[in-house]
Structure 1
Amino acid sequence: MGNPPEPARDTEPLRSSRRGNRRLPRRAAIGRRSFTSTLRALEELAASGAKISVRINDLDRGTTVLAGDDFVTLPVGGVGVVPLLIEVAAGFESGLLDPLEIIDRSQVEPVAVAGVWQHLKAPALPLSDLAVLTASTGDALAANALLARVGLPAVRARIESLGLSRAALLDRFRDERGPDDAPHFALGSTRELAEVFAALVNSQAVSAGVSAQVAEWLSLNHDLSLVAAATGLDPFSHENDEHGLLFINKTGRDDGVRVEAGVLAGPRAGVSYALIICFDDLSILHRMRAHDAFRVLGVDLMEYVF
């Protein structure tokens, strides 16, 4: 997977207002920021035949902390809703979309792979609520409703305008994919995923308003079971952490695919990260090995930012 470069000298963090001034001694900081455990876990998975792509960027220094096959395009599952959410937020800002426009569930083809709207009594919801459900619970029906409203060509154009040459939203969510359907919901690379999340927290995705709106939606994400398991955050309430931890993320899951991308910032540093693992889901043990690698990365990231 390659070795992470030695961290650069400390500089004033870009988001110092979000983090305290506590600093570790330089020698101790380097010792705790090696990502050796992550490299070992990923190399073991790669040796077993898994396809792995990883990218970590230091947000303050603008440097690459860790990269391995980060240019490779792989399935990203539900992480593919991020450009969809960006397109929706841009529509709200420009006035092309009304956040309170009501979408009737009966007008959307049923899909049961994930989410809560299918279980709610409310037969119709406004676009803004559908965006919240998409970001917070990975709601496939809500995401499909948003996609039907803005159109796949518009999202693809947004992906291109964001400069994402290795990303694609191929299709809507489906319970089953037949021979005439796209093989995946979305594709992407960890390099570009990490860049998108960095752009969101640095107010550079379309505009400051769009970036803030999408980051707010993603901050509601309930899935803290992979990388985020190491943060100790409450899955249902982690917007304003008392320890000054800034965190947004999105996860993706499919058969033999696990993905997480996000931003993690603490008192010492901030990073944008992305990890994709495609593996043979032959048993629960194979799946747990993949999940464990995400959690090892989470521990290393926490040591890096604290």
Structure 2
Amino acid sequence: MPPVPEPAAPEPVGGPVESSRRDAPALRGSARKGPRRLPRRAAAGRRSFTTTLRALDELAASGAKVSVRIDDLDGGSAVLEGDDFITLPVAGLGVVPLLIEVAAAIEAGRVDALEIVDRATVHSASAGGVWQHLKAPALPLADAAVLAASAGDALAANALLQRVGLPAVRSRIEELGLRRTALLDRFRDDRGPDDAPHVALSTAREMAAVFAGLVNSTVVSAGVSAQVAEWLSLNHDLSLVASATGLDPFAHENDRHGLLFVNKTGRSEGVRAEAGVLGGPRAGVAYALIVNFDDLSIAHRLRAHDAFRVLGVELMEYVF
């Protein structure tokens, strides 16, 4: 089936991490009727991500919503894009803008990195993380940032959000030029009818652009970019795209094979998302994959996970 052009959309407002629209064809995948397909777009002379596209096609055909974006860091061109403009729930991946605001507040002197946060004063959230299991009742703000980035700690993320405030994070998102990204709410054990339906929303295009900006030191400032990238480099969740890297989940900052890797994942019921940067001797890429699916069984969940792992294998082949 020939590619269907992406529907016209307003030109994005420029920003430090916002990627520009390109006129390359992109199919609507899960958003159109009939057989669902994702675009076959790849850099000349490089792998075409054929197996990844097949896996994502199958997910879209089963009713899942799929959004993917890969940008080459050297030339800045899009290697792969499929429904990358569609806004979808991203769960814990929405912590990245929060970490950016925290790092910016620390650099500006509005927040002390060693300010003590008392766990008893923070809205509870037991969905994930380790702080709830620790004996320490209080932590420095910077340590809470480490837990939020490395262990997907919902309680630590709530502590950060409570300290800097949701309006400040939303303002930061706007300043970064992210028009389809939003942090809607804190993490909650139960979401009622009066609560936001999701923690965060974003697109694969904007998440890939954020990670490209972090490694290129263009997010707020070089210092803020470096601090957020350092926090995220500690991430323990290497079970999706990152499973193909062979890295140690608990110690992968200085890989002996020269692999640069920074990522963040998001998980909730029917939501899997990952964005990051992968660099090797041949190339470097910023990537994002978001999948929203009917989490009806383990088989449904594993099929979504398999698509992330296939992408990881082909990303490794691209950069090495």
Query: Of residues 86, 105, 125 in structure 1, which corresponds to 2:119?
Result: 105
**Corresponding residue for residue 202 of structure 1:** 216
**Corresponding residue for residue 2 of structure 1:** 39
TM-score, normalised with respect to structure 2: 0.88
The code of the aligned residue for 2:229 comes to A
How far the C-alpha of 1:114 sits from its partner, in A, is 0.4
Query: Of residues 39, 47, 67 in structure 2, which corresponds to 1:53?
Result: 67
CA distance, structure 2, for counterparts of residue 257 and residue 71 of structure 1: 17
CA distance, structure 1, for counterparts of residue 42 and residue 68 of structure 2: 14
**Corresponding residue for residue 182 of structure 1:** 196
1:39 maps to 2:58:
no
Which structure carries more relative contact order (alpha carbon 8 Å, separation 6+)? 1
How far the C-alpha of 1:5 sits from its partner, in A, is 3.1
Q: Report sequence identity in percent.
A: 76
Q: Which runs of 5+ in 1 are unaligned?
A: 8-28
1:278 maps to 2:292:
yes
Runs (4+) off by over 2 Å: none
Matches within 5 A, 1:128-207: 128-207=142-221
1:258 maps to 2:272:
yes
Q: Tell me how large the CA RMSD over aligned residues is.
A: 0.6
- SS of corresponding position for 1:80: helix
CA distance, structure 2, for counterparts of residue 6 and residue 224 of structure 1: 26
The code of the aligned residue for 2:75 comes to R
The code of the aligned residue for 2:39 comes to G
1:234 maps to 2:271:
no
CA distance, structure 2, for counterparts of residue 121 and residue 213 of structure 1: 27
CA distance, structure 2, for counterparts of residue 154 and residue 261 of structure 1: 23
**Corresponding residue for residue 137 of structure 2:** 123
Q: Deviations over 1:52-106 (max 9, x none)?
A: 0000000001100000000000000000000000000001111111000001000
Q: Deviations over 1:259-278 (max 9, x none)?
A: 00000000000000000000
**Corresponding residue for residue 249 of structure 1:** 263
CA distance, structure 2, for counterparts of residue 193 and residue 229 of structure 1: 20
How far the C-alpha of 1:34 sits from its partner, in A, is 1.3
1:66 maps to 2:103:
no
More helix by share: 1
The code of the aligned residue for 2:42 comes to P
1:287 maps to 2:294:
no
- SS of corresponding position for 2:192: coil
CA contact (8 A) 2:42 2:49 kept: no
**Corresponding residue for residue 104 of structure 2:** 90
How far the C-alpha of 1:6 sits from its partner, in A, is 3.3
CA contact (8 A) 2:89 2:202 kept: yes
CA distance, structure 2, for counterparts of residue 98 and residue 109 of structure 1: 21
